[in-house]
């Protein structure tokens, strides 16, 4: 079995014990990531294997197995260029920290040979960083793009320089990924299918006693706090969270939708605005990530509302504070965006490229629902 598959499975399982049943007729998670992306018209892949996966089983992926899978590969003199779209993103801070830790502690890369730069949310800034990486002759690039639409140009530059590139977190479009395969370009994407995370948010609402219809008027009235609407994750989380409700036969009413750019302060302000406009008519607050959900919670509490009593609130990422809020009943649920498994997979695939192996164009890691049933286990693992 290839290294990235083994560690991906271990990372996903070792992060938590998956003890909950599927909610609202939805899927449960698997520790094995699909190697091909889902077509845009398809629903997220549903799997059940992870129900039988435990943390103790994950521990069986030992250092010896990692060494066996990497063979005689010597990472001590290999240089890695990493650019993150912006350092002050909560989720990507967790991701890059785990990525650097795994590269150095588990795979043997020297810290001084790893350069991690802040794209500062500016594609021009990040493109300059990538140009400098190429000029300096790094051996491999791991890139979290500011704008996924810039992937074709960046890929061509890397390909011309003979440098393999692993894109993370922000997925280039399907046509670009097909091009990598058809032209034999050493480029790949590692991430999660955001359709699954949106679906899981909707299922968490369906799992409530009234399926989100708090006032009993026969419909779920919601507001949507989006990330960046140009980002495919924001698009899919927005669409599929609501689709999960309508697919279950629930009537919905959108009262408010605005972009919050993944930012906590914006999430707070937008939710405050929506509460001022629509008041008690709001039954559900969907947030495309936990940072905005934390801001939404501040606005909800300031308005004298109480989550899980007269309003529901869900996010995505499973930030520690958000998971604690789920445990404390201050959030209805969140969805674990497994930065640990993703970081390990990205690093392992970089090694595969360096060893001259073939790599699939798309490598997905499953999300996991976080509810009161498993929040403590997730929290313990995150800490």
Residue recorded with tokens 């869900």:
314
Quick one: pLDDT at residue 14? 37
Spatial distance between the Cα atoms of 37 and 175, rounded to a whole number of angstroms: 12
pLDDT over 60 (residue 54):
no
What are the tens digits of pLDDT across the range 306-357? 999 999 999 999 999 999 999 999 999 999 999 999 999 999 999 999 999 9
Spatial distance between the Cα atoms of 77 and 114, rounded to a whole number of angstroms: 10
pLDDT band at 230 (very low <50, low <70, confident <90, very high): confident
Residue recorded with tokens 């996991």:
368
pLDDT over 50 (residue 157):
yes
Q: Cα-flanking dihedrals φ and ψ of residue 228, to 5°? A: -90, 115
Quick one: pLDDT at residue 71? 55
pLDDT over 80 (residue 134):
yes
* Choice between 194 and 35, residue whose per-residue pLDDT is larger: 194
Measured CA to CA in angstroms, residue 4 lies from 12, 13, 72, 343 at distances of: 12, 14, 16, 10
Spatial distance between the Cα atoms of 118 and 226, rounded to a whole number of angstroms: 23
Spatial distance between the Cα atoms of 284 and 190, rounded to a whole number of angstroms: 31
pLDDT band at 382 (very low <50, low <70, confident <90, very high): confident
The mean per-residue pLDDT over the stretch 215-225 comes to: 98
Spatial distance between the Cα atoms of 177 and 131, rounded to a whole number of angstroms: 21
The mean per-residue pLDDT over the stretch 168-192 comes to: 96
What are the tens digits of pLDDT across the range 261-304? 999 999 999 999 999 999 999 999 999 999 999 999 999 999 99
pLDDT band at 204 (very low <50, low <70, confident <90, very high): very high
Helix (H) or strand (E) holding 345: helix 339-354
Residue 243: how many CA atoms within 13 Å on its side-chain side? Answer: 17
Helix (H) or strand (E) holding 153: helix 151-161
pLDDT over 90 (residue 160):
yes
Report whether 117 contacts 82 (CB < 8 A).
yes
pLDDT band at 5 (very low <50, low <70, confident <90, very high): very low
pLDDT over 60 (residue 59):
no
* Choice between 233 and 34, residue whose per-residue pLDDT is larger: 233
Percent of residues in the chain assigned helix, strand, coil, to nearest 5: 45, 15, 40
pLDDT over 60 (residue 44):
no
Quick one: pLDDT at residue 46? 38
Q: Cα-flanking dihedrals φ and ψ of residue 198, to 5°? A: -65, -45
Report whether 251 contacts 218 (CB < 8 A).
yes
Report whether 291 contacts 212 (CB < 8 A).
no
Torsion of CA 145, 235, 275, 266, to 10 degrees: 10
């Amino acid at each position: 079995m290839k290294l990235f598959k083994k560690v991906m499975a271990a990372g996903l399982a070792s992060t938590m014990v998956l003890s909950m049943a599927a909610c609202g007729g939805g899927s449960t998670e698997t520790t094995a990531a699909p190697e091909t992306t889902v077509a845009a018209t398809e629903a997220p892949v549903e799997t059940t294997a992870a129900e039988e996966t435990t943390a103790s089983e994950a521990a069986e992926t030992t250092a010896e197995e990692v060494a066996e899978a990497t063979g005689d590969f010597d990472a001590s003199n290999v240089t890695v260029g990493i650019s993150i779209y912006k350092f002050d993103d909560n989720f990507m801070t967790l991701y890059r920290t785990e990525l650097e830790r795994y590269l150095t502690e588990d795979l043997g890369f020297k810290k001084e040979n790893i350069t991690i730069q802040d794209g500062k949310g500016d594609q021009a800034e990040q493109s300059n960083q990538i140009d400098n990486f190429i000029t300096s002759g790094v051996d491999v690039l791991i890139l979290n793009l500011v704008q996924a639409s810039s992937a074709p140009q960046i890929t061509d530059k890397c390909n011309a320089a003979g440098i393999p590139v692993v894109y993370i977190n922000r997925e280039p479009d399907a046509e670009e990924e097909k091009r990598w395969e058809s032209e034999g370009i050493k480029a790949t994407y590692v991430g999660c299918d955001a359709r699954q995370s949106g679906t899981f948010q909707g299922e968490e609402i369906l799992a409530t006693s009234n399926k989100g219809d708090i006032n009993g008027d026969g419909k779920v009235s919601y507001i949507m706090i989006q990330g960046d609407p140009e980002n495919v994750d924001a698009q899919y989380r927005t669409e599929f969270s609501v689709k999960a409700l309508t697919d279950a036969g629930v009537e919905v009413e959108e009262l408010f939708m605005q972009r919050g750019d993944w930012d906590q302060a914006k999430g707070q302000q937008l939710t405050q605005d929506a509460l001022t406009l629509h008041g008690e008519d709001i039954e559900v607050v969907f947030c495309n990530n936990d940072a905005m959900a934390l801001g939404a919670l501040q606005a909800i509490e300031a308005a004298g509302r109480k989550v899980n009593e007269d309003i529901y609130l869900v996010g995505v990422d499973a930030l520690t504070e958000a998971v604690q809020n789920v445990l404390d009943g201050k959030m209805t649920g969140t969805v674990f965006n497994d930065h640990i498994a993703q970081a390990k997979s990205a690093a392992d695939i970089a090694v595969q490229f360096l060893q001259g192996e073939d790599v699939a164009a798309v490598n997905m890691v499953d999300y996991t629902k976080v509810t009161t049933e498993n929040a403590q286990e997730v929290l313990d693992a995150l800490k």
